[in-house]
Structure 1
C-alpha cells in the first residue's frame, strides 16, 4: 500500500546541497527517521515527495526553499550590543549562540558579523534559502487506521 497522510513511516535518507555536500543523513544519526506523514514533523516538501511511495521504494528529489526551511530573510538579522555576551566569551563569525526569548524559550543564533561594540546575529534556520536534495528509501509504513494522528501521539 502507498504512503498517505497520517501514516507512520520509517525511512533511510541522505540530504545534500546542490554542490553534492551531505548535510544530514539517517546513517549519521545511527537509525532511520520515523515520523507521521503531514504532521509537521518534517518540512512540507519532504512530506509531499514521499506521498504515494511504497515499502522498499527509493527516490531522489529536490526541495525548493519555500517547501523546505523557507527563504533567507534579511529582517531576521539583528544587531545586539557586544557587551550582552559574557565577558569571557570571544565572539567569532559563524559561532552559534544560544539565545533566550522573553518567555524563556531558547533558540540558536549564528554570529554573522563581529564589530568593536556590536555583533550581528542571524536568526534564520541554517538551511533557509537553500535547495535541498534528498535520497530516500522507505523501510516501513504503518497505515493510519482512521483514528487520526492525535490518538497515536
Structure 2
C-alpha cells in the first residue's frame, strides 16, 4: 500500500550529521501536512513516507542528492553596489530577497562585499549537506 498522492501528516525532527537539530515539528506542536510524492518535499523525505504505516517511526539519512542537491557555482554571482539600491548597507551573512526575471523573490545570502561589488549566493542553505530525519507518520487522508 502506498501513500503516494495522499495527504500525509507527519511529525519529524531533522538533524545534521553532527547531531545539530535544524528543524522539528515536535517543537512547533503541529504535524507537517503535505501530499506525498507531489514534489512538495525533498525527494528522500517523500520516498521514506511513501511506504510508511500510520504510527510507524522511521530514521532516514539523506545524501545531498536526495535532499537539496549540491551547491551550484552558477548560483553565486556579483552585482555592482551602485546598481542595487540599499546594497551598501548589507553585511556579509545577511539573508535578503532579490527578484528574478519572472518577478519571483529568491532568497540569497551575502557572501562577499568590497567597495564596488556585492556577491550573493542563491544556493539553498542546506545544499551540499547530508540530512537525517526521524519521521513519524501521524495520519493519512485520501
TM-score, length of structure 2 as denominator length: 0.92
Separation in 1, partners of 2:54, 2:45:
16
Total equivalences in the alignment: 142
- Say whether the 8 Å CA contact 1:3–1:141 is kept in structure 2: no
Higher mean alpha-carbon deviation, 8-17 vs 83-92, is at: 83-92
2:10: which partner in 1? 11
- Structure 1's unaligned 5+ residue stretches are 144-153
Give the aligned partner of residue 65 of structure 2: 66
Q: TM-score, normalised by structure 1?
A: 0.85
Q: Distance in 2 between matches of 1:85 and 1:79?
A: 11
CA RMSD of aligned residues (A): 1.6
CA distance in 1, matches of 2:63, 2:87: 40
Q: Could you report, residue by residue, the CA deviation over 1:3-33 in whole angstroms, capped at 9, with x for unpaired residues?
A: 4311211000011111111111113444111
Structure 2's unaligned 5+ residue stretches are: none
Question: Residue 88 and residue 113 in structure 1: after superposition, are their counterparts in 2 closer, same or farther (change >3 A)?
Answer: closer
Deviation, 1:88, is 7.8
Structure 1 residues 20, 80: CA separation in 2 closer, same or farther (over 3 Å shift)?
same
